Amino acid sequence: MTDQEQSLVSHLVELRSRLIKAVFTILILILIMFPFAGEIYTIIAQPVLSNLSQGTEMIATGVFSPFLTPFKMVIILAVIISMPVIIYQIWAFVAPGLYKSEKRIATPILISSIVLFYTGCAFAYFIVFPIIFVFLPGIAPEGVTYMPDINSYLDIVVRLFFAFGLAFEIPVAVIILIMLGVTTAEKLAKSRPYVIVGIFVVAMLLTPPDPSSQILLAIPMLVLFEFGIMMGQFLRKKSNKS
């Protein structure tokens, strides 16, 4: 076996080890949370439960939905909670191939990406969900009782959690592009009209078909894009001076 083949095998073995650690963390969290799956689902469902009309409640239309839906929620929550471990394992695998200067930049970016992801999820739960689930029952046609299915609610929650979590990563993506020299802050600023249109299209695709959630996703994305440009420009100038 050549040195190149040995190096490839060692990288694959390390990658497998990193993936196993990430998956093991997720499984441990699932085992811890599974006994409380019902209670966890009730907490996540509070934004819709608190806005249902008196005498109405959520429904389960599937035969196994009362069991499977809270269980799926636990799995998804375990993945979300495990994000720092998952990102660290990716970082630990990639880090040996980076220069010292790149490592100094990468560490705060990684920490920021984790914080921003959780900030996006929290923004979705505490700000967006209450607004959406006040709006939706109010537009139900006369004679229609708004009683959301628990599985459909889970689909929307997961979609919005990841939509807002990933949307809040925009500054990180912009800073990386600027620091790597792929683009410049000036070019991004000039392309602002196209970015605005793109952001509203993405918000429309990622959120439920109501204007409130689309606007609530688009506005933070625009603000974070501008913040990313400013920070990228600042860090680029700082690195050039040093």
pLDDT in tens, 116-140: 999 999 999 998 888 888 877 777 7
User: Nearest to residue 226, comparing CAs of 199, 192, 202?
Assistant: 192
- The model's confidence at residue 240, banded by pLDDT at 50, 70 and 90, is low
Q: What are the structure tokens assigned to 99, written together?
A: 């220069």
Give me the residue label for tokens 């599985």: 151
Residue 62 pLDDT > 90: no
Residue 40 pLDDT > 80: yes
Report the Cα 26 to chain-centroid distance in Å: 16
C-alpha–C-alpha distance, residues 85 and 114, integer Å: 10
Mean pLDDT score, 192-217? 83
Report the Cα–Cα distance between both ends of the chain, in Å, rounded.
43
Q: Where are the domains of the chain?
A: 3-240
**Quick one: pLDDT at residue 163?**
87
Mean pLDDT of the chain: 84
Give pTM, 2 decimals. 0.82
Q: What are the structure tokens assigned to 60, written together?
A: 């389960």
